[in-house]
């Protein structure tokens, strides 16, 4: 796993083979971030990374200048891996939280400039994530929510739908 751009550009982190997480491919990550820079100024932004897995997106957000990134991951080993990556960077910008994403969202009182969610594609509640984010008013005005998902989902009729991008088997839907 590598950081695409920013102050930590090119840094690599070896993901343990025992991990169940499916990190966003470098190809998909690079392409979606090329789109996102048209919507979000990451410099100084406050971001939320849900279902963080390996922390690939959180690391990218930190590298691109976010002032604060909250990274929510339930798996103990993955959470520890994210903490270790941040220690290696000697960067306090990311706050890794170990816990259930839906519980976190239910109790969250903060608003964000950017939210990214990469849930397991088989998660039965996946389709509810956009509604939860908007019902809880977790986005600041003009902020963006990006949901990574499999090909079986179509959010084009959602009232906050902005656009859909597909890179190989990876799908991203942008909401505002």
Q: First and final CA of the chain: distance in angstroms? A: 29
pLDDT, position 83: 97
Mean pLDDT, the chain cut into blocks of 10 residues (176 residues total): 95 89 84 97 98 96 98 96 96 97 97 97 96 98 96 97 95 98
**Separation of alpha carbons 149 and 172, rounded Å:** 6
pLDDT, position 8: 97
**Separation of alpha carbons 176 and 155, rounded Å:** 12
pLDDT, position 26: 86
pLDDT, position 14: 92
Specify burial of residue 66 (Cβ count, 10 A radius: 0-12, 13-18, 19+).
Answer: buried
State pTM to two decimals: 0.96
């Amino acid at each position: 796993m590598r950081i695409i751009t920013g102050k930590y550009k090119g840094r690599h982190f070896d993901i343990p083979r025992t991990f169940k997480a499916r990190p966003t491919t470098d190809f998909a990550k690079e392409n979606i971030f090329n789109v996102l820079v048209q919507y979000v100024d990451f410099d100084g932004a406050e971001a939320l990374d849900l279902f963080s897995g390996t922390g690939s997106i959180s690391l990218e957000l930190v590298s691109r200048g976010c002032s604060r990134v909250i990274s929510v991951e339930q798996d103990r080993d993955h959470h520890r891996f994210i903490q270790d990556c941040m220690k290696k960077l000697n960067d306090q910008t990311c706050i890794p939280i170990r816990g259930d994403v839906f519980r976190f969202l239910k109790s969250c009182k903060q608003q964000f400039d950017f939210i990214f969610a990469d849930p397991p594609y088989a998660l039965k509640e996946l389709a509810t994530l956009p509604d939860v984010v908007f019902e809880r008013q977790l986005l600041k005005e003009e902020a963006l929510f990006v949901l990574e998902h499999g090909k079986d989902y179509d959010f084009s009729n959602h009232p906050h739908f902005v656009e859909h991008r597909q890179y190989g088997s990876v799908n991203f839907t942008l909401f505002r």
